Structure 1
Amino acid sequence: MLLSIQNITGGYSRTSPVIHNLTFEVKPGETVGLIGLNGAGKSTTMKHILGLLNAHSGSITIDGSTLSDQPEDFRSKIGYIPEMPLFYPELTLWEHLELTASAYGLSDEIFHKRAEQLLKQFQMERARNWFPDTFSKGMQQKIMILCTFLTECKYLIVDEPFVGLDPIAIDELAMLLQQRKEKGTGILISTHILDMAEKLCDRYVCIHQGNIALSGTIEEMRSQAERPHASLHELFISVVKGDHR
C-alpha cells in the first residue's frame, strides 16, 4: 500500500527529458519532502504522478495500480494542491466546493460540515459567494486548499502550497497536513521553505538537474553526503553547489 515511482524519465519533450530515472515512494501516514531549485524537476515529477504528463519510461503505481489500469480509482485516491491556483472564473468559491464534493461523491451532510469548518478555519466565510478572479493570490491559493481538504484522499500531492499565504493560513495548512498524516494519508510536498519542510517531513527527495542527489531521512542524507551534523538547509546547499560526495 503505497505511492511508488519507479525509474521515471520524462518531461515535456521526448528528446529533452527533464527528470531522469527517479525512484522513490510515499507510504501511508508519512510526509515526503520534494526539494530542489526552481527548474530541478519537482513540478514535472508531480505532473507525471497525476497523469498530466506521460512518462518516457518507468512506472507510477498507487496501491499496485496504474492510471491506465484503473483511471477512476487511481484519480480518486489523489488530492492535489497546485503551485499556481486553477479555478473556474464563472463559479463562486462556494460553487467550487460544491463541484469538488460532487466529483468525489460526498454526501450533503459531510460536504456542508467540512466546507463550513474549512471556510472558518481559513477566514474565507465572507468570500463564499465571491468570484475567484476578484481574489488576491493568497485567497486564490486558499480555494485550492479548501477544495483539496474537503475530500479525504489517501494521498496528497502538494506543490509549493505556502506561496502567497498569510502567516495564519500557513499555520492552519501545516496543522491540516499534520492531521492528515496522523490519519494515515501519504503526502508528497514540494516547498522552498526548508524550515517548514523539517517540521513536516519524515523523509526527503532532493532533486538537482532532474536527478535524485540525496534521499531518505535527515540522518540517511547526512550519511550519503558525509556531513554528519548538517541541517537540511546545509545539505541542500551542498547539493546545489556540488559539494556533496
Structure 2
Amino acid sequence: MTLEIENLVGGYSRVPVLKDISFTVKAGELVGLIGLNGAGKSTTIKHIIGLLRPQKGKITLEGVTLKSDPKTYKQKMAYIPETPILYEELTLREHIELTIMAYGLEAKSAWQRAQKLLELFRLENKLDWFPANFSKGMKQKVMIVCAFITEAKLYIIDEPFLGLDPLATQDLLDLIDQKKQAGAAVLMSTHVLSTAQEYCDRFVMIDQGQVTAKGDLASLRTQFGDETASLATIYLKLTGAGEKHA
C-alpha cells in the first residue's frame, strides 16, 4: 500500500468540507480523483500534502504519517499544483537546484534526469530564464520537470492539462506511465474525463465532500447498470447533474 486515506474529515473551518473520505492509491497505478468544482478534490489534496490538518481520520504514505515523520512523509511525494507556483527571483536552473537540495537527491543523476525532461518539454535553452519570461504553459512544464526529477513514491497532480498544448499533454501522460511502470503511485484530479477514462486504472468520485463511487471503469459500469456508459455519463448520473441538464 502506498497512500491510504481513512475516514478523513476536514476542511477550512469547524464545518467540515470532507465527510468521511476513504480511498487508497497503490504502487504502480494511476487513480483519477473526479469531481465538479467545489466537490472537495482540492481540499482532499491539501490534506494529503499537509496544507490542511484532518479534523478526524488518518492519512498514511508508505506507513508514515505527516505527524509521525514530517520530513520523510514530504520527501516521499511530489506535487504538481493546478496553478504553477514559482519563485520570481529564481531562474529555471535554480528551481531545479532547489528541488535537488530539498529532496536530498544525488546531484549528477538528478541533473541527468532533469536534462532529459528539459529536452522533452523544449526548455533546455531556458535554464537562465526567470518565471516572468515564461508563459503559463511553460511555467506548468517547469513544475512537471521539478516534480519528475524527484523519483517520489507518490505523485499528486492537480488538473495537469490546463495550459498544456496537446504535445505536452501527451508527453506528461507518457511520463506518468513510466513512473507507474517503475512502481510509483499517481493521484490525478482532472475535469478532462475522456482522458481520465483512457489512462486511469481506478477512479474516486467525489461530490459534496463525500465519495460517491470508486473502482475501475468496469466496476463503476456495473454499479451504474450500464456496461457501455462513459465515465462522464456515470459521474453526471451519480451527482444528479445529468438529471438537471436533461
Letter in structure 1 aligned against 2:83: M
Deviations 1:74-102 (A, max 9, x none): 11110100011111100001110010011
Residue 230, structure 1, aligned to residue 229, structure 2: yes
| Seq. identity, % | 49
Residue 211, structure 1, aligned to residue 210, structure 2: yes
TM (norm. structure 1) is: 0.96
Letter in structure 2 aligned against 1:103: A
1:90-169 maps to which residues of 2 (within 5 A)?
A: 90-169=89-168
Residue 9, structure 1, aligned to residue 9, structure 2: yes
Deviations 1:2-57 (A, max 9, x none): 2100010111111x211110000001001110001011110110110111101111
Q: In 1, are the aligned partners of 2:233 and 2:242 still within 8 Å (CA)?
A: no
Deviation at 1:243, TM superposition (A): 6.6
Give the secondary-structure state (helix, strand or coil) at the position aligned to 1:224: helix
Deviation at 1:134, TM superposition (A): 2.4
Give the secondary-structure state (helix, strand or coil) at the position aligned to 1:125: coil
Determine the structure 2 residue equivalent to 1:53.
52
Deviations 1:172-197 (A, max 9, x none): 10000001001100110001111211
Q: In 1, are the aligned partners of 2:32 and 2:203 still within 8 Å (CA)?
A: yes
Distance in 2 between residues matched to 1:241 and 1:234, nearest whole Å: 10
Deviation at 1:170, TM superposition (A): 0.5
Give the secondary-structure state (helix, strand or coil) at the position aligned to 1:127: coil
Determine the structure 1 residue equivalent to 2:62.
63
Letter in structure 2 aligned against 1:160: E
Moved >6 Å (runs of 4+): none
Distance in 1 between residues matched to 2:146 and 2:221, nearest whole Å: 37
What is the RMSD computed on CA atoms of the aligned residues? Answer: 1.3
Unaligned runs of 5+ in 2: none
Give the secondary-structure state (helix, strand or coil) at the position aligned to 2:174: helix
Give the secondary-structure state (helix, strand or coil) at the position aligned to 1:212: strand
Residue 74, structure 1, aligned to residue 68, structure 2: no
